[in-house]
Structure 1
Amino acid sequence: MGTQRILIVDDDKNICKLMELYLGNAGYLTACCHDGSSALDKINKEDYNLVILDLMLPAINGWEVCRLIKMEKNIPIIMVTARDMIDDKINGFEAGADDYLVKPFEPKELVARVKARLKNAAPSDCKQINKSIMVDDLMVDINKYEVRINNQMINLKPKETQLLYFMLINKNIVFTREQLLEKIWDYSYQGDTRTVDVHIKCLREKLNSESKVWEIKTVWGVGYKLEVNE
């Protein structure tokens, strides 16, 4: 675990020092920066296993930093912020965040969340196995995070790709919103589950397939399924 590197992005230097202390004691290597531009520069030049990202940053806010990181790399991101409104959390998840922790927080909880995220993240040096699936006009390659319809690339966010892949390999099975949050976000979500609805809506709009073989269906009063007619 000592080789796992974490980038901490927060304009409060005292909070950075606190996180560095606890994460260092837990065996992680850390680096800090205090604005969005510096964070993107570090991400482009160095390899990190996880990013801890504040929302209220100078120049480029945390939401935009998160989106830009996720466009290039599949790195787990934990947002840490004083903003605790439901809409802020939903915006964070829509930007690609994997977890959300509200300030003030217990440092031990932060360490526990970091451990959980890194445990579930596939090591970058592991040999990838074939994880692509194709149904009719739809192809999803989860290793490359590529989605194609009729061999045309569809631009999906990482969480949208994960959600689509999960529903595809579990075709014709109905999942509640809470189950999808747990499976895709690995998050015991207390409260609003609209983030699932938003991701499903985006998938339908972006895929926009005329296939008569598969369809993302709403099961009213329960949740969603990807129905495949075989």
Structure 2
Amino acid sequence: MAGSRTSAGAPPRGRPRSEAVEQAIVEGVLRLLEDGVPLADISVERIARTAGVGKATIYRRWSGKEELVAHVLRCAEPVDPELPGTSLRDDLVVLLEALRRRGLASRRSTLLHNVYAEMKTSPRIWAAYHATVIAPRRNLTLEVLRRGRERGELPGDLDVDVVYDLFVGPMLVRSVVRPDAELPEGLPELIVDTVLRGLLPAGS
């Protein structure tokens, strides 16, 4: 009976506690970045001290600083969307809208803008961000294009890697190469419809 009472009155174990610890670590990294600490000067030891956890706690969750920073950036960005799955066009519009929102977030957040710029000079952090954030998003879009090709929504002989660049390229140009360019609502639909019109045979 005593064991049962202790169990019933004990604080929640497992996942809730784990999520609280992870949130403390993420907030610790963000605090350092907001204080203007350069990425190069952020160490696992410093993160642990800021978050009030042990270094082992961090290493149980991430392989090192690079993977942790990539995770923190993903948390700071708009969440990845659920795809409707109704058509190739609908899925592409949702994916490009997410890219547009990330571009806007980068422009509006000095923190994100500065960290993205710093990250380009840190090959290991950039590689971790690419592997854990960019590559999965790219692979998802490629899968959407392959499904569209299999369903006959795209010609069967199209190279999906090239088609990916045709859809994503215009949004990236406006978001990254031309930071002064507008990212208005409706831009994803305009890009998707323009590219599809050029890919599909006349009368399709």
| TM-score, length basis structure 1 | 0.25
The structure where helix makes up a greater share of residues is 2
Greater length-normalized contact order (CA 8 Å, ≥ 6 residues apart): 2
The structure where strand makes up a greater share of residues is 1
